[in-house]
């Protein structure tokens, strides 16, 4: 706009100068004309006529106006002056009109540009709308295609189901006809009335003659197969009678030999995965009492159930109910020692599981704290490992490790680490069963992911590498100890035990262990794989408790059947020979 105003000013100045020059020339011509007219009037008239014919001084003269201009009389000075002013006014009007036109053209162009932009936006909106409509149409088309495919799949499934039903019906009808044929010799009418009781038997009567012929051929084959089955059943019954007369050891061997070519035996064995009996009291939150424990319980200090660095465990009886319990007497003279024991009480208050020992009461005195707990009389698992008279099989080990894994799974779900898992801290419920419970939560800690936990305690043989290196401990730390226990139960050997504690710790850090010992000759590959997935130096690569329960060694019934079969063979070799 500023450029436009500058051009307009220049245009006005130029036009004014042009008009001034024209007026000056006309004034000069008038002056010279008067002088010539005073001197010679003819020359003046000639000069004017010449100029009119020349036309240089007349601006904007059209072709049609030339004739009329020739007929006019010559103008005098006043007319010339007036004509000059008229020309100036015309020029000013033309300039103003031109400026108005340019402004209008500028405004019109701006308006035109705005209209163009609006039209472009409208076109874009229409294009977007068209794209959206096209996308919706495509989606609808895809949906229709998917629906058509689903409908087609349903139709195919329906047709397959109908074909399967027809085939089953075709196989089932000959059997019914066979039964009818077997009964037709004595009771023909009764057989017909029986077959008319169901819609399938009604269809049998309406079948074509061709199908009837094929059914008769099939019934003959079925008769033969049924005769053979009857023979096999009779043989099995006879074998069962012979086995019952022979004694308890021979029935299984005889029946297995006779049924090799008959029905296949299901090679599965379901282990007893039922939990051990719960504590004889309800789980409760225990707080320490300052009363004398002898007022409520009778402690038999002569009968020691166990002991260690913490103190001794004795058998005790509740006076009010006669309930048999275990009293764990812990020496705690300083306040710090008492806080450690109270931490154990806090941990046990959070644990309510059949494979974990339960706390019943707690009493605090000046120099000790006594924990009254559930009592089990099966002894330590360690005793079964070192007992030469006890035949510990691989299947027994499966039962033990499965229960320990279930207890650890529960503890880890409660964000609690045991950190002192070993055979001495696993008690058997009784001498006759393989049910166990985990005990001794004196070193247990609550796991907080944001607070990195380090510990510098434990039994050297069962310590994980991260404990020795004083690194952060977590759930895999307990799983390392479970791997060591599994190794010991299967072989009776400790995988990292050295001449002294330093050598043991060095063996753990080097992760030096193997299955080369003769004790692993008859151990299954699944058991070796289970140990190999736990005794891993990097804790992030060890199995969790949940993963260990899903491992084939603990979950595969076919494997358990083979292990059970091996155990039976082993026991049968020591069985006394049958009489007679």
358 and 390 together in one domain: no
Mean pLDDT, the chain, as a whole number? 74
**Domain-embedded: residue 9:** yes
Q: Produce one character per residue of 454-467: b if its CB has 16 or more CB atoms within 10 Å, e if not.
A: ebeebbbbbbbbbb
353 and 390 together in one domain: no
Question: Residue 53's pLDDT band (boundaries 50, 70, 90)?
Answer: very low
- 491-513 average pLDDT score: 93
Separation CA 457–CA 468 (nearest Å): 9
pLDDT at 59: 41
129 is in an annotated binding site: no
* Of 573 and 176, more confident: 176
Final residue before a domain boundary, out of 333, 357, 373 = 373
Question: Residue 68's pLDDT band (boundaries 50, 70, 90)?
Answer: very low
Separation CA 483–CA 475 (nearest Å): 13
pLDDT at 481: 97
364 and 483 together in one domain: no
454 and 565 together in one domain: yes
400's CB contacts (< 8 A; 6+ apart) are: 381, 426, 434, 436, 489
317's CB contacts (< 8 A; 6+ apart) are: 297, 298, 300, 323, 324, 325
Question: By three-state DSSP, how is residue 338 classified?
Answer: helix
Question: Residue 389's pLDDT band (boundaries 50, 70, 90)?
Answer: confident
75 and 36 together in one domain: yes
Host domain of residue 69 = 2-115
The dihedrals phi and psi of 164, each to the nearest 5 degrees, come to -65, -40
- 13 pLDDT more than 60: yes
- 39 pLDDT more than 80: no
The dihedrals phi and psi of 300, each to the nearest 5 degrees, come to -95, 90
551 and 479 together in one domain: yes
> Do residues 381 and 423 lie in contact, with contact meaning Cβ atoms separated by under 8 Å?
yes
Question: Residue 162's pLDDT band (boundaries 50, 70, 90)?
Answer: confident
Separation CA 409–CA 422 (nearest Å): 16
pLDDT at 173: 53
- 397-417 average pLDDT score: 96
- What are 10's two structure tokens? 């220049």
Q: Which of 107-111, 354-358, 379-383 has the lowest mean pLDDT?
A: 107-111
- 411-437 average pLDDT score: 94
439 and 465 together in one domain: yes
- What are 134's two structure tokens? 């096209």
- 545-549 average pLDDT score: 97
Q: Which of 126-140, 416-430, 544-558 has the lowest mean pLDDT?
A: 126-140
Question: Residue 580's pLDDT band (boundaries 50, 70, 90)?
Answer: very low
Q: Which of 53-62, 380-389, 476-485 has the lowest mean pLDDT?
A: 53-62
Final residue before a domain boundary, out of 56, 80, 115 = 115
Question: Residue 432's pLDDT band (boundaries 50, 70, 90)?
Answer: confident
452 and 551 together in one domain: yes
**Domain-embedded: residue 45:** yes
CATH of residue 337's domain is 3.30.200.20
- 429 pLDDT more than 80: yes
User: How many domains are there within the chain?
Assistant: 3
DSSP characters over 484-530: HHHHHHHHS--TT--SSHHHHHHHHHHT---S-SGGGTTS-HHHHHH
pLDDT at 530: 98
367's CB contacts (< 8 A; 6+ apart) are: 331, 332, 333
- 387 pLDDT more than 90: no
Separation CA 555–CA 547 (nearest Å): 11
Distances (CA, A) of 309 to 164, 312, 331, 486, 489: 72, 9, 9, 25, 24
42 and 14 together in one domain: yes
99 and 56 together in one domain: yes
Beta bridge partners of residue 142, listed in sequence order: none
Which residues are known catalytic residues?
Answer: 420
Q: What is the pLDDT of residues 368-378, one digit of tens each?
A: 999 999 999 89
- 206-234 average pLDDT score: 50
**Domain-embedded: residue 149:** no
pLDDT at 392: 86
- 177 pLDDT more than 90: no
Percent of the chain with pLDDT over 70: 57
- 484 pLDDT more than 50: yes
From the list 150, 235, 268, 166, the residue with the least C-alpha distance to 207 is 166
pLDDT at 196: 39
Percent of the chain with pLDDT over 90: 41
pTM tops 0.75, yes or no: no
> Do residues 359 and 286 lie in contact, with contact meaning Cβ atoms separated by under 8 Å?
yes
Separation CA 290–CA 292 (nearest Å): 7
Separation CA 485–CA 479 (nearest Å): 10
The length of the chain in residues reads 580
405 and 301 together in one domain: no
Final residue before a domain boundary, out of 52, 82, 115 = 115
Burial environment of residue 522 by CB neighbours within 10 A (0 to 12, 13 to 18, 19 or more) = exposed
CA 356, chain centre distance (Å): 31
The dihedrals phi and psi of 198, each to the nearest 5 degrees, come to -120, 160
**Domain-embedded: residue 184:** no
**Domain-embedded: residue 36:** yes
> Do residues 329 and 366 lie in contact, with contact meaning Cβ atoms separated by under 8 Å?
no
Question: Residue 451's pLDDT band (boundaries 50, 70, 90)?
Answer: confident
Q: What is the pLDDT of residues 266-291, one digit of tens each?
A: 577 888 889 999 999 999 999 999 98
- 111 pLDDT more than 50: no
- 174-194 average pLDDT score: 47
430 and 538 together in one domain: yes
**Domain-embedded: residue 172:** no
Q: Which of 324-338, 442-456, 487-501 has the lowest mean pLDDT?
A: 442-456
- 455-459 average pLDDT score: 86
CATH of residue 511's domain is 1.10.510.10
* Of 232 and 137, more confident: 137
Distances (CA, A) of 193 to 185, 505, 571: 15, 85, 58
- 241-262 average pLDDT score: 45
> Do residues 463 and 508 lie in contact, with contact meaning Cβ atoms separated by under 8 Å?
yes
Direct distance between the N- and C-terminal alpha carbons of the chain, in angstroms, rounded to an integer:
132
The dihedrals phi and psi of 207, each to the nearest 5 degrees, come to -70, 160
Separation CA 487–CA 528 (nearest Å): 9
**Domain-embedded: residue 180:** no
Question: Residue 364's pLDDT band (boundaries 50, 70, 90)?
Answer: very high
**Domain-embedded: residue 245:** no
């Amino acid at each position: 706009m500023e450029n436009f105003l500058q051009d307009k000013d220049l245009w006005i100045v130029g036009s004014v100068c042009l008009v001034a020059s024209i007026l000056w020339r006309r004034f000069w011509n008038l002056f010279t004309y008067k002088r010539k007219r005073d001197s010679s009037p003819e020359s003046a008239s000639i000069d004017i006529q010449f100029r009119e014919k020349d036309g240089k001084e007349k601006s904007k003269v059209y072709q049609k106006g030339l004739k009329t201009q020739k007929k006019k009389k010559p103008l005098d000075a006043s007319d010339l002056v007036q004509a000059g002013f008229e020309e100036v006014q015309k020029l000013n009007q033309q300039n103003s009109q031109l400026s108005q036109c340019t402004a209008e053209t500028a405004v019109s162009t701006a308006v035109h540009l705005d209209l163009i932009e609006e039209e472009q936006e409208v076109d874009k909106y229409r294009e977007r709308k068209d794209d959206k409509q096209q996308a919706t149409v495509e989606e609808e088309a895809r949906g229709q295609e998917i629906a058509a495919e689903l409908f087609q799949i349903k139709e195919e499934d329906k047709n397959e189901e109908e074909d399967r039903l027809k085939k089953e019906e075709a196989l089932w009808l000959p059997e019914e006809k066979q039964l009818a044929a077997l009964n037709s010799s004595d009771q023909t009418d009764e057989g017909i009335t029986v077959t008319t009781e169901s819609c399938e038997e009604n269809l049998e009567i309406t079948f074509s003659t061709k199908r009837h012929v094929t059914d008769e051929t099939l019934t003959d084959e079925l008769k033969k197969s049924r005769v053979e089955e009857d023979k096999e059943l009779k043989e099995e019954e006879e074998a069962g009678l012979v086995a019952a007369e022979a004694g308890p050891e021979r029935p299984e061997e005889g029946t297995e030999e006779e049924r090799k070519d008959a029905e296949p035996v299901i090679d599965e064995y379901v282990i007893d995965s039922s939990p051990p009996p719960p504590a004889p009291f309800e789980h409760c939150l225990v707080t320490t009492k300052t009363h004398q424990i002898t007022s409520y319980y009778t402690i038999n200090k002569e009968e020691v159930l166990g002991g260690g660095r913490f103190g001794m465990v004795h058998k005790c009886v509740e006076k009010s109910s006669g309930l048999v319990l275990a009293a764990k007497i812990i020496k705690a003279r300083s306040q710090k020692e008492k806080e450690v024991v109270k931490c154990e009480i806090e941990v046990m208050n959070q644990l309510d599981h059949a494979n974990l020992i339960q706390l019943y009461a707690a009493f605090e005195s000046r120099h000790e704290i006594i924990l009254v707990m559930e009592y089990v009389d099966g002894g330590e698992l360690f005793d079964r490992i070192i007992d030469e008279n006890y035949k510990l099989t691989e299947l027994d080990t499966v039962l033990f490790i499965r229960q320990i894994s279930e207890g650890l799974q529960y503890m880890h779900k409660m964000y609690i680490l045991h950190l002192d898992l070993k055979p001495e801290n696993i008690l058997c419920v009784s001498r006759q069963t393989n049910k166990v419970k985990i005990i001794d939560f004196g070193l247990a800690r609550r796991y907080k992911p944001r607070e990195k936990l380090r510990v510098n305690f434990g039994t050297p043989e069962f310590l994980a590498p991260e404990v020795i290196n004083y690194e952060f401990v977590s759930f895999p730390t307990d799983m390392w100890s479970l791997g060591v226990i599994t190794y010991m139960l299967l072989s009776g050997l400790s995988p990292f035990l050295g001449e002294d504690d330093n050598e043991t710790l060095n063996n753990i850090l080097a992760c030096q262990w193997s299955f080369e010992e003769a004790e692993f000759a008859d151990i299954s590959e699944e058991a070796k794989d289970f140990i190999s997935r736990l005794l891993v130096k990097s804790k992030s690569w060890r199995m969790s408790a949940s993963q260990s329960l899903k491992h084939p060694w603990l979950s595969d019934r076919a494997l358990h059947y083979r292990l059970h079969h091996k155990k039976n063979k082993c026991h049968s070799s020591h069985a006394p020979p049958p009489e007679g």
